[in-house]
């Protein structure tokens, strides 16, 4: 029996893409101040590498997380302590 090729969405999710801080902010739809706050709270953590301009790099997992944070805050009106609890619970479930 032949195996089927992975679906397009499966292929995309397995590839790690690194983007600069500037690109990350655009893709996530967040301001520099929001990203700085989320980094201070350790909601978003860049990967250990930097680009040629010295900007931190972020992976696709950080981008998904930023979009989740934005949805929680803007669409569901969850405050920062609530977001912290939700992220902590999601992190625990992934382990």
Residues 17-52 have pLDDT tens digits of 899 999 999 999 999 999 999 999 999 999 988 988
pTM of the model: 0.78
**90: domain CATH number?**
1.10.1660.10
Residues 54-86 have pLDDT tens digits of 899 999 999 999 999 999 999 999 999 999 999
Task: Tell me whether residue 8 is in a domain.
Answer: no
Task: Tell me whether residue 48 is in a domain.
Answer: yes
What's the number of domains the chain is made of?
1
Our CA dihedral for 3, 4, 5, 11, rounded to 10 degrees, sits at -100
Query: For 28-61, b where at least 16 C-beta lie within 10 A, e where not — what string?
Result: bebeeebbeebeeeebbebeeeeeeeeebbbbbe
Task: Tell me whether residue 66 is in a domain.
Answer: yes
Task: Tell me whether residue 9 is in a domain.
Answer: no
Range of 42's domain?
Answer: 16-94
pLDDT given for residue 2 in this prediction: 53
């Amino acid at each position: 029996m032949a195996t089927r090729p992975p679906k397009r969405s499966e292929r995309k999710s397995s590839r790690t893409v690194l983007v600069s801080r500037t690109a990350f902010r655009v893709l996530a739809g967040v301001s520099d101040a929001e990203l700085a706050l989320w980094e201070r709270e350790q909601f978003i953590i860049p990967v250990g590498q930097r680009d040629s301009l010295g900007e931190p790099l972020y992976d696709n997992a950080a981008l998904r997380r930023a979009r989740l944070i934005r949805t929680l805050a803007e669409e569901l009106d969850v405050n920062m302590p609530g977001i912290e609890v939700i992220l902590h619970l999601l992190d625990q479930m992934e382990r």
